[in-house]
Amino acid sequence: MTVLASSLDTKSPEHAANREAMLAKLADLDAEHAKALAGGGEKYVQRHRKRGKLLARERIELLLDPDTPFLELSPLAAWGSDYTVGASLVTGIGVVEGVECLITANDPTVRGGASNPWSLKKALRANDIALANRLPCVNLVESGGADLPSQKEIFIPGGAIFRDLTRLSAAGIPTVAVVFGNSTAGGAYVPGMSDHVIMVKERAKVFLGGPPLVKMATGEESDDESLGGAEMHARVSGLADYFAVDEPDALRQARRVVARLNHRKAYGDPGPAEPPKYDADELLGIVPGDLRTPFDPREVIARIVDASDFDEFKPMYGTSLTTGWAALHGYPIGVLANARGVLFSEESQKAAQFIQLANQRDIPLLFLHNTTGYMVGKEYEQGGIIKHGAMMINAVSNSRVPHLSVLMGASYGAGHYGMCGRAYDPRFLFAWPSAKSAVMGPQQLAGVLSIVARQSAAAKGQPYDEEGDAALRAMVEQQIESESLPMFLSGRLYDDGVIDPRDTRTVLGMCLSAIHTASYEGARGGFGVFRM
Ligand code: COA
C-alpha cells in the first residue's frame, strides 16, 4: 500500500479560517435545501395532509428499504428562478427490495405538482441517469401536468419524457408508475408508457381529458371516476395492473413489483472497504476562502479514497495535475485532480495518456476540479497549448469508462471541459459550496470587456468614459461572481447537487455502486485524431 502522507496543519489559523468560511457556506446551503423540503409552503402542505395524503418525500421513504440512504439529486433545481426551489419534483437514487432504483416523485404541494421548465430538465436528467446506469425507474405520480403559464417552454421538449420511458423499457430497464392523484392529459402517458402501473383507489385520475374537456369536445356528461379512476382502470380499461386501497398499500405493492423484476447488476458488490486514514471532517479546512490560494488535492484524495491508498502516476511530470490510482468503497478509480490551477501542455498530455490507460484497464475516472483553465501567453501558444489541451479534451470526450466530477474550487474556461465538465457527460457531477465555475474569473472577464470597449472607442476616435468604465466593471464583476456560484449553477441543473465536502466519499460510493449496475468497457481505440 502507498498511504498518502498528510501535511495538513489542522491547528493553523489558515485551516481554521478555511473551515469557518466553508461552514458559513454550508449554513447558507442548508437554508436553501430547507426551501426545497418546505415544498409549496405550510398552507399547501396542511391542505395536502388534510386530504389524507403523504408528502413526496414521505412516499419515497415508505418505498425505500428501511434505514437505507436516499441520494437526492438536484434539490436546488430552479434556484434563482421565479419557480419554487426544487422545481416541484424530487429525484434521486435509493434501494428498493435490494435493487438500486432511480426514483422520481412529483411534489403536489407546489402548484399542484405541475411541471415547469426546471421540473422538465430535472425529470429528463433523471431519465438520463436511469438509462446510462440501467437503474429501474419508479415514478411516484401526482401532477397537474404542464405548468400552463410556461407551456411554451415545456410543451414541445416535454414530449421527451414519454419517449424516454419507452426507450428505457426497450433497453430492458424496468419502469414503474405509481399514481397517487392527478395524471391527466400528457401526464396520462406516464402510466401509459410504463411497464408496471399501480393506482390508488379514489385518488388516481388518469384520463386524456377531464369531464369539462369531454363536455366541450363531444357533449358527453361524465365524472372523474368513470373517466380515469383506479377502479375503472383496474377493472375495465386494463391500464392499471394493480389496484391499491390507499397510499401505503400502493407503495407496498410497488416494492413487490420491484422485488419481482429480477433486475441484476452487471458487477457484484466489492465488499467492505477500509476507510481513509484521515478524518473527513478535515475536508472542511482544505479549500481556501480565496480560490487564488492553491491547495494540495492529495489532502482531499487522502480523505476520500480507501485506506488513503494512492499510487501516483507521473508525479514529477506536469505537476499541476495530480493523477493516480486508488479505490473508493472497493471500486477501482483513476483520479485526475488539479493541483495548482493552471493546466499547461505537460498536464494536458499527461491527462490524455492517463485517460487512455484507464480505458485500456476499464477503470472509472474521478475528476477533482480546481482549475483556472489552460495557460495563455506567447510562450505557451508557441509551445502548442491549443493542441495539447485538445488532446486532453479529445481523450475525455471519447473515453468510454464512467466519469465522476467534483467541483471543489475553481472550474473555469476550457479547463472545465478538459476536466469533464457537465457537457462531457460525466455519469454524475457534484459541487462543493466552495466551487465557482464560469468562462473566466469575474475580474478577468470585466477587465477583458473594459479593454475591448476602450479599443473600440479609440478606433472610432471617441474619448473613453473612465467613470462609466469603473461602474461597468464593478457591475459586470458582481454579475459574473453571482452567476459562478454553485447554488446558481445547481439551480440551472449544471450539476447533480451541491454537497457537503464531508459527504464526498459516501456520495461517490453510492454513485459508483449505481454505475456498476450497467456493464462498461473502456475505449480501446476510437479516439479522435490526436494532434501531435
Ligand atoms: N399550471 C399552473 N398552475 C397550476 C397548474 C398547472 N397545470 N395546476 C395547478 N396549478 C396551481 C393552481 O392555480 C393553484 O394556484 P393557487 O393556489 O395560487 O391558486 C395551485 O397550483 C394549486 O392548485 P389547486 O387546483 O388548488 O390544487 P388541487 O390539489 O386542488 O388540484 C390539480 C390540483 C392538478 C388537480 C388541479 O389544479 C388541476 O386540475 N390543474 C390543471 C390540470 C391540467 O389541466 N393541466 C394541463 C395538463 S397538460
The total number of structural domains in the chain stands at 3
Contact 92, 135 (CB under 8 A): no
User: Would you tell me the crossing angle of helices 160-170 and 151-158 to the nearest 10 degrees?
Assistant: 20
Say yes or no: 370 and 455 in one domain.
Answer: no
Using the mean position of ligand 1's atoms as its centre, give its distance from the Cα of residue 53 in Å.
16
Q: What is the pLDDT of residues 352-395, one digit of tens each?
A: 999 999 999 999 999 999 999 999 999 999 999 999 999 999 99
**Ligand 1 midpoint to CA 186 (Å):** 15
Residue 245, pLDDT above cutoff 90? yes
Q: Which residue has the CA at smallest separation from atom 27 of ligand 1? A: 112
Q: Above 90 in pLDDT, residue 232?
A: yes
For residue 145, the CA-to-ligand 1 centroid distance in Å is 9
Residues 239 and 387 in one domain: no
Residue 530 placed within a domain: yes
What confidence tier does 532 reach under pLDDT thresholds 50, 70, 90?
Answer: confident
Centroid of ligand 1 to alpha carbon of 102 (angstroms): 26
Residue that is last in its domain, among 259, 289, 312: 259
Any atom of ligand 1 within 6 Å of the Cβ of 147? yes
Mutate to test the pocket of ligand 1, among 45, 88, 111, 182 (most ligand atoms within 8 A of CB): 111
Q: Please indicate, yes or no, if residue 59 is contained in any of the structural domains.
A: yes
Could you tell me which residues come within 8 angstroms of residue 63 by beta carbon, excluding any fewer than 6 positions away?
94, 96, 103, 138, 140, 251, 254, 255
Residue nearest to atom 38 of ligand 1 (CA): 144
Total-model pTM? 0.95
Residues 389, 454, single domain; the answer is no
Whether residue 435 is found in the same domain as residue 317: yes
The reply to whether ligand 1 has any atom less than 6 angstroms from the CB of 112 is: yes
Residue to probe by mutation, ligand 1, list 55, 161, 182, most atoms within 8 Å of CB = 182
Instruction: Give yes or no for a contact between 63 and 255, defined as CB atoms under 8 angstroms apart.
Output: yes
The DSSP symbol for 84 reads P
CB atoms within 10 A of CB 236: 11
pLDDT score of 54: 98
pLDDT at 93: 98
Question: Does any ligand 1 atom lie closer than 6 A to the CB of residue 40?
Answer: no
Segments of 76-128 assigned E as strands: 89-96, 99-106
Which value, to the nearest 10 degrees, does the dihedral of the CA atoms of residues 283, 342, 74, 305 take? -40
Distance between CA atoms of residues 20 and 22, nearest Å:
5
Instruction: Give the per-residue pLDDT at 36.
Output: 97
Instruction: Express each pLDDT in 488-501 by its tens digit.
Output: 999 999 999 999 99
Same domain, 28 and 145: no
- Provide the CATH number for the domain around residue 413: 3.90.226.10
> Is residue 293 one of the residues assigned to a domain?
yes
3-state DSSP call for residue 512?
helix
Asked whether residue 240 is domain-assigned, the answer is yes
CA-nearest of 294, 301, 306 to 323 is 301
Residues 128 and 4 in one domain: no
Residue 457, CB half-sphere, CA atoms under 13 Å: how many? 13
- What is the 50 CA–ligand 1 centroid distance (Å)? 17
* CA-proximal residue: ligand 1, atom 34 (nearest): 144
- The mean pLDDT value for 314-332 works out to 98
Residues 408-416, mean pLDDT to the nearest whole number: 96
Q: What is the pLDDT of residues 65-82, one digit of tens each?
A: 999 999 999 999 999 999
Whole-number Å distance between alpha carbons of 133 and 54: 29
Among 46-50, 124-128, 139-143, 471-475, the range scoring the smallest mean pLDDT is 471-475
User: Contact, 18 vs 322, CB < 8 A?
Assistant: no
For 340, list phi and psi in degrees, rounded to 5. -135, 40
Is residue 264 in some structural domain?
no
- Verify that 119 and 250 share a domain, yes or no: yes
Whole-angstrom distance, CA of residue 188 vs CA of residue 166? 14
User: 49 C-alpha to center of ligand 1: Å?
Assistant: 17
The pLDDT-based confidence of 530 (bands split at 50, 70, 90) is very high
Report pLDDT digits (tens) over 41-55.
Answer: 999 999 999 999 999
Is 151 contained in some domain? yes
- pLDDT bin (cut points 50, 70, 90) of residue 185 is confident
| pLDDT score of 302 more than 90 | yes
Q: Is the pLDDT of residue 441 over 90?
A: no
Residue 432 sits in the same domain as residue 508: yes
297 shares its domain with 373: yes
- The set of cell numbers assigned to 426 is 460525466
Task: Name the residue of 46, 120, 148 whose CB sits within 8 Å of the most ligand 1 atoms, as the mutation to test its pocket.
Answer: 148
CB atoms near residue 216 (< 10 Å): 10
pLDDT greater than 90 at residue 15:
yes
Q: Is any atom of ligand 1 closer than 6 Å to the C-beta of 158?
A: no
Q: Percent of the chain scored above 90 by pLDDT?
A: 95
Task: Label each residue of 157-215 as H, E or C.
Answer: HHCHHHHHHHHHHHCCCCEEEEEEEEECHHHHHHHHHCCEEEEECCCCECCCCCHHHHH
What value does the mean pLDDT take over residues 435-439? 95
Residue with CA at minimum distance from ligand 1 atom 33: 112
- Give CA–CA dist 74/64, Å, rounded: 19
Q: Are 219 and 150 within one domain?
A: yes
Which domain-ending residue is among 259, 292, 312?
259
Judge whether 81 lies within some domain.
Answer: yes
Domain that holds residue 462: 442-483
45 Cβ inside 6 Å of ligand 1 = no
Q: Which residues contact 124 (CB under 8 A, 6 or more apart)?
A: 160, 161, 164
Per-residue pLDDT averaged across 435-459, rounded?
92
Whether 107 lines ligand 1, by a CB cut-off of 6 Å, is no
Q: How confident is the model at residue 341 (pLDDT cuts 50, 70, 90)?
A: confident
In-domain check, residue 267: no
Choosing from 230, 259, 288, the residue where a domain stops is 259
pLDDT digits (tens, 9 = 90+) for 259-293: 999 999 999 999 999 999 999 999 999 999 999 99
Based on the fold, state whether residues 376 and 389 are members of the same structural domain: yes
The pLDDT mean for the chain works out to 96
pLDDT tier for residue 340 given thresholds of 50, 70 and 90? confident
pLDDT at 440 over 90: no
Q: Distance (Å, rounded) from C-alpha 324 to C-alpha 337?
A: 9
Write down the pLDDT at residue 186.
84
> Do 411 and 295 share a structural domain?
yes
- For atom 20 of ligand 1, the residue with the nearest CA is 111
List the residue whose alpha carbon is closest to atom 25 of ligand 1. 112
Cell of 199: 393506482
Task: Tell which atom from ligand 1 comes closest to the C-alpha of 51.
Answer: 29
331, pLDDT greater than 90: yes
